[in-house]
Structure 1
Amino acid sequence: MHSDARTCIAMNSCSVLNGGCEHKCVDTGNNHYKCECRKNYQLKRDGRHCALRDPCADRNGGCAQLCLSEDTRVHCSCRPGFTLAADGKNCEDIDECGSGRAKCSHRCVNTLGSFSCVCNPGFELGADGKQCYRIEMEIVNSCEKINGGCSHHCEHTTNGPLCSCNHGYQLALDRKTCVDSDECLGGGACCRHFCRNYPGGYECSCRAGHRLNADGCGCDDVDECLAETSGCEHDCVNTLGTYECFCELGFRLDQDQHSCISLYGELEDEEDEEEDEDEQLEVHRLPDLLFRKVPQLLQYTAASHSRYVSDEDDGDGGDGEVEIQRGRRGELRLSSSIVCLDGSFGDDCSVSCEDCDHGVCSENGDRCECAAGWTGIICNKTCSQGTYGPACNSLCRCQNGGSCDPVTGKCVCPPGVQGLLCEDGCPRGHFGMHCRRKCKCPNNGHCHRLYGGCLCSPGLYGRLCHLCEYQ
């Protein structure tokens, strides 16, 4: 203040009592200032006083575990179970087991920063966690009495009896009783045609015209023609599950569908019949033409190339006229045919080229030529099982349950079967996908190629073919 005691003069605030700062007062200009502290000290919250800085507050003083400060100096230490490393900052685990500090009566297991004592079998650890004491108790087998309540097999566990069943059976809801598994109804059977369930297993069988494959599952077609069991008098054609008989030129099948009757002999017999009966045209008995059924004549034309002979030219009178009529009738039989008009065809002339579904029309426009895998008048039917190729005229030869591609005829084999015709099943003693699993049948016997069930020899049965029918 001025000497007149009235006027105020600007002064440096740090010049009066060091600005109230304990250590340093720094003038920042415009009548402002701030306090600062000396080295190893930090400003307190009041902004004026200074306190000694704690070196452990900054990143734990560089210590890995515990930090202690003394007069701005740092001292690192470790928690129990660890020792200070040579660098004075990091901590290393102490192996109490290796150093002998653990003092376990049996065995010791070191852990990070500690250890655990473990007792030998038949002993338990005491309250101190180091001493081991023998366990004195009676072990009772829960399966000894009434097989633990199990129908088939019993296994003793710490939680009591554990029941299991023989092959072909399953545990009931009580987890003790074994009931038969009906593989035929449950979808577990491998049968291609028929399945018969019996306690503990099942048996496959095939429809007529098939025989059971060696794998016990698939059904293979029986070629009655090769086996000479068809009974056909002339020719035999095998089909899937059955066969058909055919006759040579000039013959037709008798009612028994096996014998063949000469058509020429029938025509000679007809000449002796009455004239009104001779006028009935039986197209299905014409020589050189074979029909499986009588065709429906929608329209026919007949041309007679015989010279017309009048009564005057025939010296025999009535007998000559009969011969002329017989000649005309013979030519009529040979010249008769079914004719569909306007580009139509079929049994009743009801379809045309526009109706061809999976095929193209022939050059003459009188039929559909089906693509491979299709058949029928208009090529709208897929090949039946066991046939393939153009018009489905080729027979499938796949074995062991294999099926044909309807177009190419390539065999699609079931799991565990290989080969161009599925002829290579699993080798003896193996089953499953790619035949990698081993059978458990006695004497390295055959087993089911998918499920491993033993395929018993005649007279034997049971899960392991160990039971005999004739005992």
Structure 2
Amino acid sequence: MHSDGRTCIAVNSCSVLNGGCEHKCVDVGNNQYRCECRRNYHLKRDGRHCELRDPCKERNGGCTHLCHSDGGRVNCSCRPGFMLSGDGKNCEDMDECSSGQAKCSHGCVNMLGFFSCVCHPGFEIGADGKQCYRIEMEIVNSCEKNNGGCSHHCEHTTNGPLCSCNQGYRLDQDRRTCVDSNECVSEGSCCSHVCRNYPGGYECSCRTGHRLNPDGCGCDDIDECLVETSGCEHYCVNTLGTYQCFCRVGFRLDQDQHSCISLYGSDLDEEEEEQEEDEGLEVDRLPDLLFRKAPQLLRYTAAPHYSRDDGHHVSGSEEELEIHGEHRGELKLESTIVCLDGSFGNDCSVSCEDCVNGVCSKNRDRCDCSPGWTGTICNEKKNFQMGQGCERVSSDPP
């Protein structure tokens, strides 16, 4: 009832005691209303009363570190070791070392958000973390007595002596004694032929017929024919690691394998001799061979082998040569490659260690193959005839 005693008013309205709202009452119709608060305030749970809003509860009030509310206003602050930047919200590192706030007695190291005091050598930091005090202790050099027990070099460390060795030596299991490092056994050498170890190093040498390369490691074949050290009376053929002497037509090698003996006494055809002298000594190369003569050297031989018209070969004394003189045919070059140091094969490139399916011969100059195998190192299967009439071929032994 209105105060005039005659007019009726709605009970649920802002007209009666401001609707019970502490700040503002807003009529929303249909006898309904709601309470609202002034700026920087918000309704309490009862929906009528208002309390001051805390801006720090929303995104920390925009502060990087700490947020404080003062009458609805935001005040930002920083953790120790940082200072507030010009925008009043962000925090940046404080360099206590440069500003003098650290107050270190010797040295200062600044870090993000804090600092650390350091001392000069021979001093240590005190309990306050700022003052430095001298260390009163004797420093003993562990290498001073008996070289620390090291054979060669000793270096003092906080954990004791550290031993090391000269080049060509290595530390033994006791980590103090230096022993020779055998490069020839450990495959640490560069020698291509022969390696000789000596204390602290090694040296390379070459097999007969080779000379050491300027690099001190590799070996080059000596061309005895080219340097004219072979001692061959007529012709010389160089091979890998050695050489062979050969004679002109009508001569044969003497027992010294260098001199040439006439097969016909002094009746050598003068015209042929003059022709050969006029030809001079030319150099022609074939794979792994050097002929100190033009290719027609192939007509000469190191021993008297010749053919008769009936295809039979004759070799022997001068009397035999006179008997068969009219059948004398063209002499042919017969060359034999001599391998050294237990090597064999067409190019002296293999040894007994390379025998695959067999064993080495007694003279260590070839591989004796097991049944069913053939080849220089017994790595090729033999072909066997099989079946009726032997019309099929198989590589597997029967």
Give the direction of change, closer, same or farther, for the CA distance of 1:243–1:91 in structure 2 (3 Å limit). same
Letter in 2 for 1:40: N
State whether structure 2 residue 114 is matched by structure 1 residue 114: yes
Preserved contact between residue 253 and residue 260 of structure 1 (Cα < 8 Å): yes
- Aligned 8 A contact 1:231 1:258 in 2: yes
Quick one: structure 1 residues 122 and 148, their matched pair in 2 at CA, closer, same or farther if it must change by over 3 Å? same
Amino acid at match of 1:88: G
Cα RMSD (Å): 4.4
Instruction: Decide whether aligned partners of structure 1 residues 205 and 33 sit closer, same or farther in structure 2, where only a CA change above 3 A counts.
Output: farther
Corresponding residue of 2:128: 128
1:13–1:27 Cα contact (<8 Å) kept? no
Change (3 A) 1:198 1:33: farther
SS in 2 for 1:256: coil
How much has 1:184 moved relative to structure 2? 0.7
Q: Residue in 1 aligned with 2:178?
A: 178
The change in CA–CA distance for 1:328 and 1:194 in structure 2 (over 3 A counts) is closer
Cα offset, 1:295, TM superposition: 7.8
Deviation of 1:173 after TM superposition, in Å, equals: 1.4
Q: Does 1:142 align with 2:142?
A: yes
Displacement of 1:188 in angstroms is 1.1
- Provide the C-alpha distance between the structure 1 equivalents of 2:326 and 2:120, rounded to a whole number of angstroms: 112
The correspondence of residues 187-336 of structure 1 with structure 2, limited to 5 A, is 187-265=187-265, 289-291=299-301, 332-334=327-329
Deviation by residue 1:172-199 (Cα, 9 ceiling, x = unmatched): 1111111111111011112221112222
> Aligned pair 1:105/2:105, yes or no?
yes
Shift of 1:137: 0.9
| Pairing of 1:269-418 with structure 2 (within 5 A) | 289-291=299-301, 332-334=327-329
TM-score, length-normalised on structure 2?
0.59
What is the alpha-carbon distance in structure 1 between the residues aligned to residue 258 and residue 267 of structure 2? 21
Q: CA deviation at 1:249?
A: 3.1
SS state at 2:244 partner: strand
Whole-Å separation in 1 of the counterparts to 2:239 and 2:91: 88
Q: d(CA) in 1 for partners of 2:154 and 2:84?
A: 58
What percent of counterpart residues are identical? Answer: 68
2:341 maps to none
Name the SS of the counterpart of 1:163 in structure 2.
strand
Amino acid at match of 1:110: N
Closer, same or farther in 2 for the Cα pair 1:32/1:180, shift >3 Å? farther
* Residue equivalent to 1:409: none
Tell me which protein shows more strand as a share of its residues: 2
Residue of structure 2 equivalent to 1:56: 56
Kindly state the Cα deviation for residue 211 of structure 1 after the two structures are TM-superposed: 2.5
After the TM superposition, which of the residue ranges 33-42 and 186-195 deviates more from structure 2?
33-42
Note the C-alpha offset of 1:51.
4.8
Cα offset, 1:239, TM superposition: 2.2
Q: Matches of 2:306 and 2:47 in 1, distance apart?
A: 124
Supply the distance in 1 between the matched residues of 2:94 and 2:46 (Cα, whole angstroms): 47
1:69 touches 1:75 (CA, 8 Å); kept in 2? Answer: yes
Gaps in structure 2 of 5+ consecutive residues? 1-9, 269-297, 313-320, 333-344, 350-398
Task: Determine the C-alpha separation between the residues in 2 that align with 1:335 and 1:213.
Answer: 42
Match of 2:157 in 1: 157
Unmatched 5+ stretches in structure 1: 1-10, 269-287, 303-325, 338-380, 386-471
C-alpha contact (below 8 Å) 1:26/1:36 kept by paired residues:
no
CA displacement 1:45-77 (0-9 Å, x = unmatched):
788876543211222212222111122211111
Offset, 1:234: 0.4
Q: Higher mean Cα deviation, 90-99 or 48-57? A: 48-57
Q: For 1:117 and 1:136, locate their aligned partners in 2 and report how far apart those are by CA, in whole Å.
A: 20
Instruction: State how far apart, in whole Å, the 2-side matches of 1:246 and 1:294 are.
Output: 11
Partners of 1:335 and 1:97 lie apart in 2 by 106
TM-score by length of structure 1 reads 0.51
Equivalent residue pairs, number? 289
Answer whether contact 1:102 1:108 (CA < 8 A) is retained. yes
- 1:140-166 deviations in Å (ceiling 9; x for gaps): 111122221112221111111111112
How big is each residue's C-alpha offset from its partner over 1:127-146, in whole Å with a ceiling of 9 and x where there is no partner?
Answer: 01111111111111111222
Q: 1:86-136: per-residue Cα shift (whole Å, max 9, x none)?
A: 222222333323332222212222333332222112111110111111111
- Asked if the contact 1:12/1:27 (under 8 Å) is kept, the reply is no
- Report the CA distance shift for 1:206/1:52 in structure 2 as closer, same or farther (over 3 A): same
SS for the counterpart of 1:183 is: coil
Q: Which is further off, 139-148 or 258-267?
A: 258-267
Equivalents in 2 of 1:12, 1:255: separation in Å? 151
Q: Is the 8 A contact 2:81 2:93 kept in 1?
A: yes
CA positional deviation for 1:289? 4.4
Deviates more, 1:51-60 or 1:36-45: 36-45
Contact 2:192–2:218 under 8 Å retained in 1: yes
Query: 2-side partners of 1:38 and 1:61: how far apart?
Result: 20
| SS of match in other structure, 1:97 | helix
Displacement, 1:229? Answer: 2.8
Which amino acid is 1:251 matched to? F
Secondary structure (helix, strand or coil) at the match of 1:186 reads: coil
SS at match of 2:60: helix
Question: Following the alignment from structure 1 to structure 2, what is the Cα–Cα distance between the partners of residues 12 and 292?
Answer: 147
The one-letter amino acid paired with 2:219 is C
Code of the residue aligned with 1:106 in structure 2: it is H
Task: Give the Å deviation of 1:24.
Answer: 6.3
State the alpha-carbon separation in 1 of the partners of residues 59 and 98 from structure 2: 34
Match of 1:96 in 2: 96
In 2, the alpha carbon distance for the partners of 1:328 and 1:138 equals 108
What CA distance in whole angstroms lies between the structure 2 residues aligned with 1:113 and 1:24?
Answer: 51
Residue 87 (structure 1) aligns with: 87
